Amino acid sequence: MQKSKLINNATLTAITVFSTAFIYFCINYSHTFLHNAKYLLYNLFYNRISYILIDNKIVIFLVEMSWLFTLYMMVRKYARAKLFFAATVITFNLIYIIWRIKYTIPTTSKIGMTIGIILISSELLGFFQSTIYSILFYKPYKLKEMKMDDLSKLPTIDVMIMTYNEPSYVLRKTIAGCLNIEYPDNLLNIYICDDGHREEIRKLAEFFGIHYVTRENNNFAKAGNINNALSNYCRGELFSVLDADMIPKPDYLKKMVGYFKESNVGFVQSPQVFYNPDPFQYNLNLDDRIPNEQDFFMREVQAGRARYNALFHVGTNALFSRKAIDSIGGIPTGSITEDMATGMLLQVKGYKSIFVNKVLAVGLSANIDLY
């Protein structure tokens, strides 16, 4: 049964990759590619096979398909072939863009030229994005594991649970997870930062024996909530931010803290992972038979960006250097995406961002039926 399942998965993967590549080439080279395909079908039905084999357009089409399939097989077998594949895709795209600019923009009328320029501009944007993705994924992200034991002295750490109006039963799970984190009790403080000013949550914090933090106003939303805790309560050398529903695993800190052996590390990010189906998985009734929608970004794109110190902070599941955050004036309040802005400012300041591609905390995917 297991062998059969593996074969089915491999077959499905091959079909998916090949079909996606085929459609991609059709879209990008529609002027020649689709014409050649049509020409091949015409000759298959109305002309002799010998004519097909010597016709230049048919040969070009067959070479394109053979080359695509060969590259696919090479990438499956040899990891280094990804670079060659990426270079080939970029080259073909560049040839197509040059052809589009030089030969296809209409010049007979101003309206036609304007529309043509707008269209080619959108294709240039797609070419740029495709090139970036090719560069990100041609080489796997490798990270040398740094263990907690590698540190000569363990730092003090504050773990902040950010909340506004999440139900108490959601927070209860997160708090329980934080209390089970494997780290010396005398070096770890847990705070629940409540912008909802709820008596129920204050009592919940008291019940679990953790710190309850609130403020008089909700200025600057989550960024203001974090800054309030940092300015008035937290004194740790490192601090971690968790969303209200993100339940940390026992090794949450052990897997990240070791990287702060290097003084220029600004933050360590782990992926945002969910333990319940996302809307697509849930509504299609497929659950874990298809990947979570965010897995590609959280596990693959983030790893690619980390190679260039361009990792995004995603608002949760991260461990920060307090010194680094203080150097940029705290969490930035001028953007509604304060998480991304924080990571970028640290990187501009010269700090390294580390991506630990392991499931260290799990949370609730957006699904109103489960809240």
Q: Which residues are catalytic?
A: 195, 339
Helices (H), the chain: 2-28, 30-46, 49-54, 56-77, 81-99, 110-137, 168-179, 199-208, 221-232, 254-257, 279-283, 295, 302-306, 322-327, 338-348
Give the angle subtended at the CA of 168 by the CAs of 167 and 173, to the nearest 5°. Answer: 110
Phi, psi angle pair for 159, to nearest 5°: -110, 120
Long-range contacts: 107-112, Cβ < 8 Å, 24+? none
Nearest alpha-carbon partner for 28 in 75, 105, 89, 84? 89
Number of other residues whose CB lies within 10 A of the CB of residue 319:
26
Lookup result for tokens 């990010």: 269
Task: Identify the bridge partners of residue 192 per DSSP, sorted by sequence position.
Answer: 161, 212
Give the angle subtended at the CA of 291 by the CAs of 290 and 295, to the nearest 5°. Answer: 170
Q: Give, in order, the Cα–Cα distances in Å from 53 to each of 33, 46, 48, 62, 70.
A: 17, 14, 9, 10, 20
- Distance in angstroms (rounded) separating the CA atoms of residues 61 and 179: 62
DSSP state letter for 101: I
The strand order across the sheet containing 352-355 reads: 211-213, 188-194, 157-163, 238-243, 318-321, 265-269, 352-355
Nearest alpha-carbon partner for 371 in 173, 211, 198? 173
Residues 6+ apart with CB under 8 A from 226: 160, 162, 193, 241, 330, 331
Q: Give, in order, the Cα–Cα distances in Å from 177 to each of 173, 174, 236, 246.
A: 6, 5, 20, 9
CA–centroid distance for 241 within its chain: 18
